[in-house]
Amino acid sequence: MSHYFQTPTGPENRRTVRARFWDTEWEFTTADGVFSADGLDLGTAVLLRESVPPNGARRLLDLGCGYGVLAVALATACPEAVVDAVDTNERALALCATNAAAHQVADRVVPALPEQAADADVRYDEIWSNPPIRIGKDALHELLLAWLPRLVPGGVARLVVGRNLGADSLQAWLNDSGYHCERLSSAKGFRVFAVRAESGA
């Protein structure tokens, strides 16, 4: 289940998938070896259905961007924002760049490996993520603790997590770790969380 976290070595077999959200029909190029290559995954669909694009955002992060659904959607909906799109899978990053170009937002979507991402001084108005739960609890906690502190004061991280993949325990851990994690909604077996630093809650 975790093969899409690393860059695959097999053939790409690129194809096009379609999705509808935010009253728009979208097309994305996907390929073998990336997360949810055959269509928009249910978790991301729930996150998009239960969330609206931020008004006036200038810097956003799609953490675990895959082939770029969230990054492209946010850049399209937030014309003044730069969106950093971070993933460990280089094929996914290449597809994210392809999709950003296809939707004419390539100048504001920045695909990057975690170690190549924006300068550590960069702060984000919002972080959007369907986080890679299957990398394991310790690795997931390390990932979130690396990126959540990069929210601006009052900024929010919007996360979608499967209930049967530990959503409730993750919420409790975030609250115990100095964040205010609010459940915004539950749908189709997923929780949508808004995570803020306590000082910005």
Distance CA 109, CA 33 (A): 22
The pLDDT value given to residue 4: 46
CA atoms of 190 and 98, how far apart (whole Å): 29
What is the pLDDT at residue 199?
Answer: 57
**In degrees, to the nearest 5, what angle opens at C-alpha 54 toward C-alphas 53 and 55?**
115
Q: Which amino acid is at 27?
A: E
CATH of domain 41-200: 3.40.50.150
Say which residues have a Cβ less than 8 Å from residue 186's Cβ, sequence separation at least 6: 163, 192
The pLDDT tens digits of the residues spanning 41-96 come to 999 999 999 999 999 999 999 999 999 999 999 999 999 999 999 999 999 999 99
Collapsed DSSP state (helix, strand, coil) of residue 99: helix
Amino acid at 195: V
Alpha helices (runs of H) in 12-164, residue ranges in sequence order: 42-49, 69-77, 90-102, 137-147
Q: Specify the pLDDT at position 123.
A: 96
Q: Report the pLDDT value the prediction gives residue 5, as an integer from 0 to 100.
A: 58
pLDDT value of residue 178: 95
Q: Low-confidence residues of the chain, pLDDT below 70? A: 1-6, 199-201
Domain map (residue ranges) of the chain: 41-200
